[in-house]
Structure 1
Amino acid sequence: MNAKTFELSPGYAISRVIRGGWQLAGGHGAIDGTQAVTDLIAAFDAGIRTYDCADIYTGVEELIGAARERLRNERGAEAAGAMKVHTKMVPDLEKLAGINRDYIRGIVDQSLKRLKIEQLDLVQFHWWDYAFPGYLDTMGWLNEMRLEGKIRNVGTTNFDTPHVTEILNAGVPLVSQQLQYSVLDQRPANSLAALAAENNVKFLCYGSVAGGFLSDKWLGEPEPEMPLENRSLVKYKLIIDDFGGWDVFQSLLRALRSVADRHGVDIATIASAWVLQQPQVAAVIVGARNQAHALANAKIMDIALSDEDNRQIGAIIAKSRGPLGDIYTLERDRTGRHGSIMHYNLNAGKK
């Protein structure tokens, strides 16, 4: 085991940078399937050998399945087996009241078929509203399928500390939680990190570059006006506001740029490397639009931040106001600033 891999569960190792799949779902423009498969394999060759997808990312499980098939055909079963795939299960809000075992098993079987495999490496479960109690039953059904061999590992996505506690107390062997973590958003450290350490639950982190805000592109730029280009930017602009506003954000970018200069990389690489060194963090999930981005993202695993680097970044973080609270609490308030921009029925109308 080296700094570029992490053993998430006994005998199951992942790369510390995970290739995100959301950008392949079509929300950022038309997708060329053949090129997408080539780019996915480029990430594999750069050392990013773990992939993140979801039942709600249209066509992404199929693309990753095609990349694995191409690896198998061109390089053999061992190469295909080295590609680890994490998927998410996100039942629509409107479906939560009627969730049953057959429905959950059907989603798992659908992911197996799309990915063209017999066992899912990791299923990460998200639940929109705790007022519906079916999340605990669902975790139990996923664990049943783990015991049957259809799933290797089970995890959660964006569950807060009390509900992760409830799931663990029910005897479900969680290995991970996928959550938002960045120099701007340190809610995982508020309470969940301590529980996770006690129960050997690791964090798989998205949002480490805040939708692109934590990059050289925004250094020295004036505060953007609403409406922003896409919902992702709106989401992370709200996080910047909670952090302390645009001026404090620019101070953070300047600090990150100074650290990046010492390492010969860009701001985004340093921002992700900072997350990677936080307690309980196993990996960061990053998007890549092309092969060049894959090569740049692989450099995250090579960065070792010094005490001076951390002091410089920490001095700005100490000036921040938030965001406050537990994991995903702001986003669950459907009438609030963060929750009102979320889409809660992402499978509606999909086959």
Structure 2
Amino acid sequence: MTPAETWTPVETTEIRPGYRISRVLKGGWQLAGGHAEIDREKAITEMGDYIRSGITTFDCADIYTGVEQMIGDFRRATIATGDVSLLAPLKVHTKCVPDLQKLATLTRAELQETIDRSLLRLGLDQLNLVQFHWWDTDVRRYVEVAGWLSEFQKEGKIDLLGTTNFNTACMQEMTDAGVNFASMQVQYSLLDNRPEKTLLPFCKEKDIKILCYGTVAGGFLSDRWFGVPEPAHPLENRSLTKYKLIIDDMGGWDMFQALLSTLRRVADRHGVQVADVAMRAALAFPQVSGIIVGVRHGGHLEAHARLFGLELTATDHAEIKAILDQKTPLEGDVYDLERDQKGRHGRIMHYNLNEEKPAA
């Protein structure tokens, strides 16, 4: 028996009737550069390994340079081999992220070009799920642009619509305008529970499922960082830089180490890793359908599959809650800190990625 045959099956769920996803989604940001050198051919080949393991939902974006194209090349190569059945469960979630400098002047035709480009890169006749992002909500055109995406959906270019990183007030505006969102991708983890303030009750009322990113905080929520000194800047990649700011704001390195100590104790009881506990806890958050785990290579497959053999007990959850109750709450609603372009979180963002990087 191969190791894969001994793994606990990956849990799946429907975010809309007939639209089934794996509860762990393969993230694509780490394949877009800025993290480490990518072996493109290996990354494409390993996509088949993910699907065979039960991780059948991939997350990408028009601004993740080359990632839509890689997924499309994987699909085309698989079709060429005749193994079309491998693609049957595959769902590809992409994002529509107009550049900051384009927000005030974006036209419907330009938005349609972006959607058509994603269709071409992915080799699809219809995009499975498009997640809408808008960098600056002071440029108050996001309701209009979301309406255009809804029109493309009615035309058959898009199956489901979602959003990413809008706060509750903006979500209310768009849904009031008649846009029907199936999901929302948002940063939500043991470090960052901003969605619990107002977003989760809203999403429950509107039947909008939550897809979490940042559940292992770029790798900080892992055994690697337990009991080690606070790292100095610059950190080795953008993910660590981003999530170190969250750690600073939620109470600093000592508070973070106290959380890791608690997670290590829980992990020891189950014979797993700290990251496993962090991800399993996130899967138990209210309204959460799945977690997006970004990796550069398939060496994490066994850990991801092991995740679904882990069941946290009431004692585990109580211990985790007790330490989380001691952290400093993050300011604002979802993504408010990151949306402030002059703030510590906003200054590290790249806002014009379609313009800055060539199309794949």
TM-score (norm 1): 0.96
Stretches (4+) displaced over 6 A: none
- Verify the 8 A CA contact 1:49 1:83 in the aligned structure 2: yes
Counterparts of 1:299 and 1:224, CA distance in 2: 29
Aligned residue pair count? 350
1:246 to 2:253 alignment: yes
Task: Pick which of 260-269 and 147-156 moved more.
Answer: 260-269
One-letter amino acid matched to 1:271: A
Pairwise CA distance, 1:244:
1.0
Pairwise CA distance, 1:324:
2.8
Counterparts of 2:338 and 2:173, CA distance in 1: 20
Identity of aligned residues (%): 52
1:22-41 aligned within 5 A: 22-41=29-48
One-letter amino acid matched to 2:235: L
Counterparts of 1:197 and 1:144, CA distance in 2: 25
Pairwise CA distance, 1:75:
5.4
- 2:88 is paired with a residue whose SS is helix
Pairwise CA distance, 1:197:
0.4
Counterparts of 2:198 and 2:312, CA distance in 1: 24
Q: Which residue of 1 aligns with 2:278?
A: 271
Q: Which residue of 1 aligns with 2:183?
A: 176
Post-superposition Cα deviations, 1:70-108, rounded to whole Å, max 9, x if no partner, equal 333445333212111000111110010111110111111
Counterparts of 2:345 and 2:299, CA distance in 1: 33
- Verify the 8 A CA contact 1:99 1:134 in the aligned structure 2: no
1:145 to 2:183 alignment: no
- 1:18 is paired with a residue whose SS is strand
Pairwise CA distance, 1:3:
7.1
Post-superposition Cα deviations, 1:301-350, rounded to whole Å, max 9, x if no partner, equal 33221101101111110001121320000111111111111111112232
Match of 1:289 among 296, 303, 320: 296
Q: Which residue of 1 aligns with 2:244?
A: 237
Match of 1:161 among 149, 160, 168: 168
Q: Which residue of 1 aligns with 2:95?
A: 88
Counterparts of 1:116 and 1:67, CA distance in 2: 10
Match of 2:108 among 101, 119, 126: 101
Counterparts of 2:331 and 2:54, CA distance in 1: 35
Q: Which runs of 5+ in 2 are unaligned?
A: 1-8
Counterparts of 1:263 and 1:74, CA distance in 2: 41
- Verify the 8 A CA contact 1:93 1:129 in the aligned structure 2: yes
Distance 1:303 1:271, change over 3 A: same
- Verify the 8 A CA contact 2:218 2:239 in the aligned structure 1: yes
One-letter amino acid matched to 2:163: T
Task: Pick which of 283-292 and 83-92 moved more.
Answer: 283-292
Q: Which runs of 5+ in 1 are unaligned?
A: none
Match of 1:191 among 192, 198, 202: 198
One-letter amino acid matched to 1:293: H
- Verify the 8 A CA contact 2:163 2:185 in the aligned structure 1: yes
Post-superposition Cα deviations, 1:29-85, rounded to whole Å, max 9, x if no partner, equal 332222111111111111100000000111101111122233334453332121110
- 1:97 is paired with a residue whose SS is coil
Distance 1:291 1:231, change over 3 A: closer
- Verify the 8 A CA contact 1:219 1:253 in the aligned structure 2: yes
Counterparts of 2:266 and 2:78, CA distance in 1: 37
One-letter amino acid matched to 1:26: G
